[in-house]
């Protein structure tokens, strides 16, 4: 192989730059040129790319987001769009493509694989809902961002006898909410996968209040309901002044953690080595701290990774 390409697609996350850099430098070490498409599949369709020589990726490892930029492309979801993408790859003599992104981006990678083009997928989504990998890129940094914010909120909550609902990302996934609840010592995690029993939660909060505790923290995934209505419910039932903080896109940015720098570097290197050895149509994942490969077909068919409900039980036990 003489020329490979990489793109970052869907929601950005920290660690994407580490992946691009590692992929580019592994390619260079093997006398292969790496190009980077701008703005995900949208850039591939417009044939907008830059050559990723060693200097082009210098100084990117420690930066959040993706310097190639990312986008969600409606055109690429059409058959015509995919044909155009394939034409562009051929025209530029690209022999293999690395796609870094979440479930939608990996479905796109599978479509190209089915058209006979060599593709490797890398899981990247702070939701950590991609099957066949213990961790996706960006999850660890997002969790570090969350615990920093929640620790700050806890200080002010305890100074005022208040309860706080902190809304974290996760439209369909409660991974961030449940792990953040454990890591911040929050009283409750509310997740989309499990229906909330508001009466029971208020009962527990009242008991804690009567025991003399000064505050309560609830971490809620954005897809689990309406935070302000739950806050109003708590105020009515328990009497605690309850405030809502929505962390939003703050969670997705910032310098990647050590874990995400290492994971991105490992994923990036591996993806190039796989293409050079003739492997295609797989996603690189992490299992028990070793890198794995799973057919993209299985990843996409498997759908969203299920929440390990033991995390929730643990959050409950430790939050008593």
User: Residues with catalytic annotation?
Assistant: 127
187 is in an annotated binding site: yes
b/e map of 238-256 (b: 16 or more CB within 10 Å)? Answer: bebebbbbebeeebbbbeb
For the CB of residue 176, give the shortest distance to ligand F6P in the complex, in Å.
8
C-beta of 179 vs 215, nearer to ligand F6P? 179
- Select the residue whose beta carbon is closest to ligand F6P and give its number: 169
102 is in an annotated binding site: yes
Residues 170 and 153: their CA atoms lie apart, in Å, by: 20
C-beta of 102 vs 264, nearer to ligand F6P? 102
C-beta of 71 vs 194, nearer to ligand F6P? 71
For the CB of residue 320, give the shortest distance to ligand F6P in the complex, in Å.
29
Q: Would you tell me which residues interact with ligand F6P (CB under 6 A)?
A: 11, 102, 125-127, 169-171, 222, 252
154 is in an annotated binding site: yes
For the CB of residue 108, give the shortest distance to ligand F6P in the complex, in Å.
15
Residues 313 and 311: their CA atoms lie apart, in Å, by: 5
Kind and range of the H or E run holding 268: helix 258-276
Residue 84 burial by Cβ neighbours in a 10 Å radius (0-12, 13-18, 19+): middle
Residues 121 and 102: their CA atoms lie apart, in Å, by: 9
Cα separation values, 50 from 45, 60, 157, 186, 289, Å: 14, 15, 48, 45, 33
Query: Which residue's structure tokens are 């022999």?
Result: 95
195 phi, psi to nearest 5 deg? -70, 135
54 is in an annotated binding site: no
For the CB of residue 171, give the shortest distance to ligand F6P in the complex, in Å.
4
313 is in an annotated binding site: no
C-beta of 133 vs 215, nearer to ligand F6P? 133
Binding-site residue set for substrate: 125-127, 162, 169-171, 222, 243, 249-252
Binding-site residue set for ATP: 11, 72-73, 102-105
Binding-site residue set for Mg(2+): 103
């Amino acid at each position: 192989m003489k020329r490979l390409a990489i793109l970052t697609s869907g929601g950005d996350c920290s660690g994407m730059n580490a992946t691009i850099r590692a992929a580019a430098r592994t390619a260079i070490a093997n006398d292969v040129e790496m190009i980077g498409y701008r703005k995900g599949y949208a850039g591939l369709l417009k044939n907008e790319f830059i050559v990723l020589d060693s200097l082009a990726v210098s100084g990117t490892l420690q930066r959040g987001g993706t310097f190639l930029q990312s986008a969600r492309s409606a055109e690429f979801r059409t058959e015509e769009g995919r044909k155009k993408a394939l034409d562009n790859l051929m025209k530029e003599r690209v022999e293999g493509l690395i796609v870094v992104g979440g479930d939608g981006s990996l479905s796109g990678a599978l479509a190209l694989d089915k058209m006979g083009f060599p593709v490797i997928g890398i899981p990247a989504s702070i939701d950590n809902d991609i099957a066949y990998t213990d961790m996706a890129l960006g999850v660890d940094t997002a969790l570090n961002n969350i615990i920093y914010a929640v620790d700050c909120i806890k200080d002010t909550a305890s100074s005022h006898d208040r309860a706080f609902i902190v809304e974290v990302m996760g439209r369909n996934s409660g991974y961030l909410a449940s792990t953040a609840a454990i890591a911040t010592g929050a009283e409750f995690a509310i997740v989309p996968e499990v229906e909330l029993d508001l009466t029971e939660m208020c009962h527990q909060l009242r008991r804690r209040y009567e025991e003399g505790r000064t505050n309560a923290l609830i971490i809620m995934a954005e897809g689990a309901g309406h935070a302000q209505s739950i806050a109003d419910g708590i105020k009515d039932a328990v009497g605690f002044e309850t405030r809502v903080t929505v962390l939003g896109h703050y969670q997705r940015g910032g310098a990647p953690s050590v874990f995400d720098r290492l994971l991105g570097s490992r994923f990036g290197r591996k993806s190039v080595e796989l293409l050079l050895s003739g492997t295609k149509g797989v996603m690189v994942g992490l299992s028990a701290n070793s890198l794995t490969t799973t057919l993209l077909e299985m990843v996409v068919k498997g759908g969203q990774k299920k929440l390990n409900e033991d995390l929730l039980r643990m959050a409950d036990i430790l939050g008593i």
